[in-house]
Amino acid sequence: MRNLWIFLSRYNAFFFFIIFFTVGIILTIRNNVYQRSVTFSSTNEVVGTAYKRLNVVKRYLNLVQVNDSLAAENAALKTQLLAIASIDSTQITKVKDTINLQQYTLIAAKVFKNSVTLTNNIITINKGAKDGITKDMAVISPIKGIVGFVQNVSENFATIRPLLNQETAISVVLKKDNAFGSLVWGDDNFDYRKAYVKEIPNHYKVKVGDTIVTSGFGGFPKGIEVGKVTNTRVSTGDSFMTLEIALFNNFSTLQFVYVVKDKFAEEVKSLQPEVKNEQ
């Protein structure tokens, strides 16, 4: 013990250097946007490759559920197709430029890493800048429900900040009467099947069982079903209502996600000033 003390005090300059320098580097990475993004995307590349190997087994075990969900999605798409096919095309006289009007394109991606138990969960997917993914794109889940926003992008991988993260807020509306609210998770609630809709004005009549859909602001296409109201009496003390909702999608079994590429995202963004809280 005495020798250790002598050793430490003899080379104190070096140990102080290590301590202070580490503090300096940590401060640099935590507080500077550019340095942080470089660190995250390079570690992401390494971690992503490791998870890619691990995931082969996991994917095989989950094949049954994935097949079921794909079949369900197929059925839904076929229903839509039938609906379109039944429209009498001879009656439409106006020519619609469908190529330029298609605002949203979906990029399918596989989930590598997912968590639902932390206070700030992160999802890693196997598509990155190479596949046209950029920061802040919206991410939805295959059948029903939303996932979150793209947070960081590297060459082959990307991380998603899902709804299950304290920093995520998504603009939603009541399907019934278009009352705006903001969908959040966290505070005291760490159940991955529940979330809260805040800031709905008090004069709207909301019933248990009402459906919540996306508002169409901030990357998500309008009208994606998010969840069902389970409790309208969450007391907060301010002049807005807070609703508890049950989410339609299950984050714990998420295997595939769709990244939504918004054709007009850049254009819209260039018009609006930076808004940080509500994306």
Q: Quick check: 7 binds other proteins (CB under 8 A)? A: no
269 counts as binding other proteins under rule CB under 8 A: no
HSE-up of residue 12 (Cα within 13 Å, Cβ side)? 4
Q: How far is the CB of 13 from other proteins (least distance, A)?
A: 4
Distance CA 98, CA 246 (A): 36
Q: Tell me the angle at which helices 63-85 and 33-61 cross, rounded to the nearest 10 degrees.
A: 100
CB 163 within 8 A of CB 147: yes
DSSP string of 156-190, one letter each residue: S-EEEEESSBTT--EEEEETTT--EEEEE-BTTB-
Report the residue from 26, 75, 81, 118 that binds other proteins according to the rule CB under 8 A.
Answer: 26
Q: Is 35 in the site for other proteins (CB under 8 A)?
A: yes
Is residue 119 part of the contact set for other proteins (CB under 8 A)? no
Q: Where are the alpha helices (DSSP H) in 86-240?
A: 98-101
Q: Is 21 in the site for other proteins (CB under 8 A)?
A: yes
**Range in contact with other proteins (rule: CB under 8 A) among 30-38, 123-131, 160-168, 208-216:** 30-38
Q: Which is nearer to other proteins, 4 or 13 (CB)?
A: 13
The DSSP secondary-structure symbol of 208 reads T
Residue 154 in tokens: 């590297």
- Site residues for other proteins, 39-68, by CB under 8 A, read 39
Q: Does 8 bind other proteins (CB under 8 A)?
A: no
Q: 3-class DSSP state for residue 99?
A: helix
CB of 40 to other proteins, least distance (A): 12
CA dist., res. 168 & res. 182, Å (int): 10
Select the residue interacting with other proteins from 6, 8, 23, 208 (CB under 8 A).
Answer: 23
**Rounded distance between C-alpha atoms, residue 7 and residue 42, angstroms:** 37
Nearer to other proteins by Cβ, of 18 and 57: the residue is: 18
Stretch 186-245 residues interacting with other proteins (CB under 8 A):
none
> Using the rule CB under 8 A, which residue among 8, 32, 68, 222 binds other proteins?
32
Q: State the nearest-atom distance from the C-beta of 126 to other proteins, in Å.
A: 24
Distance CA 25, CA 10 (A): 25
Q: Which residues bind other proteins (CB under 8 A)?
A: 12-14, 16-17, 20-21, 23-32, 34-35, 38-39
